[in-house]
Amino acid sequence: MTDTVAPSAVRTLQQYIGGSWTPSTATEAIDDRDPATGDLLARVPLGTAADVDAAVASARKAQAGWRRTAPQIRARALYRLRDVLDQHREELAQLVTQDMGKTLDDALAEVGRGIESVEAAMGAPHMLKGQNLEGIGTGVDVETFRQPVGVVAAITPFNFPAMIPMWFLPFALATGNGFVLKPSEQVPLTSERYVELIEGIEEIPKGLVNIVHGAHDVVNAILDHPGIDAVSFVGSASTARYVATRATENGKRVQALGGAKNAFIVLPDADPATVSSGVCGSAFGAAGQRCMAGSVLVLAGTPEQQDAALERIVAAAAELTSGPGNDPTTDVCPVISSDARTRLVGDIEAAEQDGLKIVLDGRKADAGQGGANLGPTIIDGVPQDHRVATEELFGPILAVVRVADLDEALQFTNASRYGNSTILFTESGGAAREFRYSAESGMLGVNVGVAAPIAWMPFGGWKDSIDADLHANGDDGFRFYTRNKVVTTRWASKSAAPTAGGMRF
Ligand code: NAD
């Protein structure tokens, strides 16, 4: 609900700019609700270009000193951040569950992933080392340096409130940049808590990290601001394309990670228990709201083999319990809002009207106090070009596509506009090797349900799942936030190492 910023029993969030909490210049705010209960948690100001301007000025000012801070001292500040986050694991996970809805176990795993990104960024002194080549001419050497790009912004989605801001913040800081975060307006509370915890770390200068709450206007102000040098974005494919286009037009470096339609390919020789647990955990965990969630089950083999595999998966999915994320017996949490549930129910109805078979119907699950629960849903007999097999629905809905073999499976999955992740279940090394070579996705899994790389590896898809050259995390994280500088030097005096036949300068 959008409304004017008026006095209310529930607090309106503040921006964090220049090292202090300050009211937004916004005239409007929206509700942040607990998906499980529908309770109003906070009002989120729809921040303005003036808020962004102030945040950029603050980041720029603090960055001037931060870039001159030794890399190992910057890394040490991240060791402190790592320890503080570790001490607050449980509390952060509870906040994620309350704000986003996922189960506590899942939230704890997410917080753990965020902490791992901090740990990976702590390797900055190693990762920032340049290259050199001695004696390229008489008395001439050449060397490279990686320097920060300046002020960077991150715009993040609702589905990983703890992990995704940490894909960017630690790498940006480790490499010597100032930082502006625009968290999802649907789940702003974990980011707010992060900044409160950062406030207590004296090694991180005041004003270096800023948070601007809001929605489209804040995003547009970031994309247009001449003081922002690079933008990291994660969200749906259409927003990613928009962000990448506008940021690029404005001369910014950009990495925009978009949506997904991830498939599981199941070959007849796959281990049945591995398939059932992998598929159910991935398709229905976090109510299917992970960018790595599989949402198309591609069954290869004879109709009998396909039926047997599907039967096992439907039986396992039917055992899953839908409920609030803070109930330890819950397997499938609510989706982000009752509106999202309504949209997903519409998708199931449309599939039904097209004659597809709903073999497990999540609409029968109790919608819960917040009206946002939807049980696991499996739709069989889906043509390869049907919307439920090709488009991201972002809920606990699994489309079943039947194919003859691995070749046909790969033809189908490679035809997708997306390329985030594809999973193969098989016990055949040869099939797995062919899959690894041929599948057109950025992140592959073999016999694992969710093939999310650890933070020391790059995270990102192909095709419409990304508009970027460099992925998040891993080596790419360091590269995205730094510029290469190449210096060629000649010292005429005492050039003791003559080079024969080198370059002439
Ligand atoms: P979203 O695109 O709606 O929102 C993401 C961010 O963009 C938010 O901060 C939002 O305020 C902003 N935004 C949304 N629409 C905008 C517009 N028209 N103009 C300017 N700003 C806009 O995404 P979401 O619903 O929050 O997140 C779910 C999506 O994110 C899914 O598509 C999922 O696949 C994707 N995702 C991708 C990855 C990945 O690694 N590729 C990871 C997580 C989530």
395-448: per-residue pLDDT in tens?
999 999 999 999 999 999 999 999 999 999 999 999 999 999 999 999 999 999
| Domain residue ranges of the chain, discontinuous segments joined by + | 2-258+465-486, 262-446
Residue nearest to ligand 1 atom 38, measured at CA: 291
pLDDT of residue 500: 66
pLDDT of residue 496: 53
Q: Which residues pair with 233 in a beta bridge?
A: 155, 256
Model confidence over 216-247: pLDDT tens digits?
Answer: 999 999 999 999 999 999 999 999 999 999 99
- Confidence label for 495 from pLDDT (cuts 50, 70 and 90): low
Average pLDDT over residues 473-496: 91
HEC secondary structure over 108-145? HHHHHHHHHHHHHHCCHHHHCCCCEEEEEECCEEEEEE
Model confidence over 433-466: pLDDT tens digits?
Answer: 999 999 999 999 999 999 999 999 999 999 999 9
Options 3.40.309.10, 3.30.70.100, 3.40.50.300, 2.40.50.140; CATH of 262-446 = 3.40.309.10
Q: What's the 238 CA to ligand 1 centre distance in angstroms?
A: 8
Q: What's the 431 CA to ligand 1 centre distance in angstroms?
A: 34
Ligand 1 atom nearest 155 alpha carbon? 9
Residue nearest to ligand 1 atom 23, measured at CA: 235
Average pLDDT over residues 260-285: 98
Q: What's the 186 CA to ligand 1 centre distance in angstroms?
A: 11
Model confidence over 105-114: pLDDT tens digits?
Answer: 999 999 999 9
pLDDT of residue 493: 73
Ligand 1 atom nearest 258 alpha carbon? 41
- Confidence label for 505 from pLDDT (cuts 50, 70 and 90): confident
Active site residue 280: no
* Cβ-based neighbours of 437, under 8 Å, separated by 6 or more: none
Q: What's the 156 CA to ligand 1 centre distance in angstroms?
A: 7
Q: Which residues pair with 253 in a beta bridge?
A: 230
Give the distance from CA 236 to its chain's centroid.
Answer: 10
Number of H helices, E strands in the chain: 16, 23
Q: What is the DSSP letter of 418?
A: E
- Confidence label for 32 from pLDDT (cuts 50, 70 and 90): very high
Quickly list DSSP for 73-105: HHHHHHHHHHHHHHHTHHHHHHHHHHHH---HH
- Would you say the CB of residue 373 lies under 6 angstroms from ligand 1? no
Q: What tokens does 417 get?
A: 């506009």
Rounded CA-CA distance 234/184 in Å is: 10
- Would you say the CB of residue 480 lies under 6 angstroms from ligand 1? no
Rounded CA-CA distance 53/59 in Å is: 10
Rounded CA-CA distance 179/103 in Å is: 30
Ligand 1 atom nearest 182 alpha carbon? 9
- Would you say the CB of residue 384 lies under 6 angstroms from ligand 1? no
Residue nearest to ligand 1 atom 9, measured at CA: 184
Task: Please give the residue that has the higher pLDDT: either 47 or 139.
Answer: 47
pLDDT surpassing 70 at residue 145: yes
Place of tokens 């039917």: 318
Model confidence over 353-403: pLDDT tens digits?
Answer: 999 999 999 999 999 999 999 999 999 999 999 999 999 999 999 999 999
Q: What's the 341 CA to ligand 1 centre distance in angstroms?
A: 17
Angle, CA of 252, 254 and 260, to the nearest 5°: 155
Q: Write down the mean pLDDT value for the chain.
A: 96
What proportion of the chain, given as a percentage, has pLDDT over 70?
97
pLDDT of residue 492: 81
- Would you say the CB of residue 239 lies under 6 angstroms from ligand 1? yes
- Would you say the CB of residue 259 lies under 6 angstroms from ligand 1? yes
**Lowest-confidence pick of 76-80, 195-199, 272-276, 491-495:** 491-495
pLDDT surpassing 60 at residue 320: yes
pLDDT of residue 499: 62
pLDDT of residue 4: 47
Count CB neighbours of 484 within 10 A: 11
- Of 138, 166, 152, 145, the C-alpha closest to 493 is 138
- Confidence label for 8 from pLDDT (cuts 50, 70 and 90): low
Rounded CA-CA distance 169/179 in Å is: 7
Residue nearest to ligand 1 atom 6, measured at CA: 157
pLDDT surpassing 90 at residue 497: no
Count CB neighbours of 492 within 10 A: 7
Residue nearest to ligand 1 atom 30, measured at CA: 235
Model confidence over 86-100: pLDDT tens digits?
Answer: 999 999 999 999 999
- Confidence label for 49 from pLDDT (cuts 50, 70 and 90): very high
pTM tops 0.95: yes
- Strand, helix or coil for residue 45: strand
- Would you say the CB of residue 35 lies under 6 angstroms from ligand 1? no
- Would you say the CB of residue 257 lies under 6 angstroms from ligand 1? yes
pLDDT surpassing 80 at residue 503: no
- Would you say the CB of residue 37 lies under 6 angstroms from ligand 1? no
Q: What's the 157 CA to ligand 1 centre distance in angstroms?
A: 4
- Would you say the CB of residue 54 lies under 6 angstroms from ligand 1? no
Mutate to test the pocket of ligand 1, among 191, 219, 450, 457 (most ligand atoms within 8 A of CB): 219
- Would you say the CB of residue 420 lies under 6 angstroms from ligand 1? yes
Place of tokens 């808590």: 193
Residue nearest to ligand 1 atom 20, measured at CA: 216
Q: What's the 308 CA to ligand 1 centre distance in angstroms?
A: 37
Q: What's the 173 CA to ligand 1 centre distance in angstroms?
A: 23
Catalytic residue among 291, 299, 333, 399: 291
Average pLDDT over residues 291-296: 98
Average pLDDT over residues 196-220: 98
Rounded CA-CA distance 197/172 in Å is: 17
Residue nearest to ligand 1 atom 39, measured at CA: 257
- Strand, helix or coil for residue 279: helix
- Would you say the CB of residue 126 lies under 6 angstroms from ligand 1? no
Rounded CA-CA distance 355/330 in Å is: 31
Average pLDDT over residues 293-305: 98
Please provide the CATH number assigned to the domain covering 2-258+465-486.
3.40.605.10
Q: What's the 234 CA to ligand 1 centre distance in angstroms?
A: 6
Contact assessment for residue 23 and residue 15, using Cβ atoms and an 8 Å cutoff: yes
- Would you say the CB of residue 467 lies under 6 angstroms from ligand 1? no
